[in-house]
Amino acid sequence: MSLTELIAGVEDSEKTLVVHNADEPTVDSVVDRFADRNVSVTTASTESGPPEYVVLSEGDRVLSATSLAEVVPGGGRPQTPGFGSEPYKPILDELDETMFTSYDWRRMLAASREIEDRAWRAGEGTLYAGFQRYSVLERQLPVYEQLGTKTNLDVTAFAFPDAELPDHEGTFDVYPERAAEIRDTWFVAFDGGGDEESKCALLAEEREPRRFYGFWTYDPETVDYVFDHLGETYLGGRSDTPAAAGC
């Protein structure tokens, strides 16, 4: 199953988010927040129970329940965080493996930063990233050079070689790939560095110019599949691996 087929499989699974005990303006804010997600937002009222909470379900199966404040937090979100002692405030939410639709480049970059920052804070493990083309990867070289300074963090980037990458510190590996799914998908995946709960991945397909459709996941099996697919398809048994790596 290719990366695009994995995206299509998630797309076929619609989820429902039920907002309980919230007033109309609050419900409207939830609808606005998830307008670009493949999720149906409905409302419900209960005579007892906590105020303003949400329940996420798929068919008849309840997936999670949490306070509304966890889904629609107050305040703004930083869009270009650095790496440091303060954890990056994630844009990823409880809607694990739910499709988002029509993300632009800025939002894709912000989502990628959440996973990159998790890997940075862990300081060990493996991070795979695909930014489609060298010309896109070029803009991320400072970030990936910094990630590569973590001695126990193995960082690998995949991209279609549409341009020459400028000289940079060889702290991470770059693999030139011409496959269609590398050109068409944007992905960032972290294997958790030995911690199953820290595994996470972002995977999206560019279906329109600079508009991305995909999902993120914290499910260890899905993350493992992404790593296995990339490793077996593009890294396993390659005679040119040493020459391609270490750009």
Tell me the CATH number of domain 99-244, given options 3.40.630.40, 3.40.50.300, 3.30.870.10, 3.40.1390.10.
3.30.870.10
3-state secondary structure of 227: helix
| Beta strand 39-44 pairing with 15-20 | parallel
Helix-strand-coil split of the chain, %, nearest 5: 35, 30, 35
Q: Average the pLDDT over 162-175 and give the result.
A: 86
Two structure tokens written together for 138: 């070029």
Beta bridge partners of 39: 15
**In 161-210, which ranges are E strands?**
173-176, 185-190, 200-208
- Residue 85's pLDDT is 40
- Residue 79's pLDDT is 34
Two structure tokens written together for 185: 């998908």
pLDDT in tens, 125-167: 999 999 999 999 999 999 999 999 999 999 999 999 999 988 7
Q: Greater confidence, 17 or 69?
A: 17
Residue type, 4: T
Q: What is the pTM of this model?
A: 0.74
3-state secondary structure of 181: helix
Other beta carbons within 10 angstroms of residue 64's beta carbon come to 13
pLDDT in tens, 34-93: 777 778 899 999 877 678 888 888 888 887 788 887 777 653 333 333 454 444 334 344
Spatial CA neighbour of 131 closest among 26, 36, 212, 222: 212
Domain boundaries, the chain: 15-71, 99-244
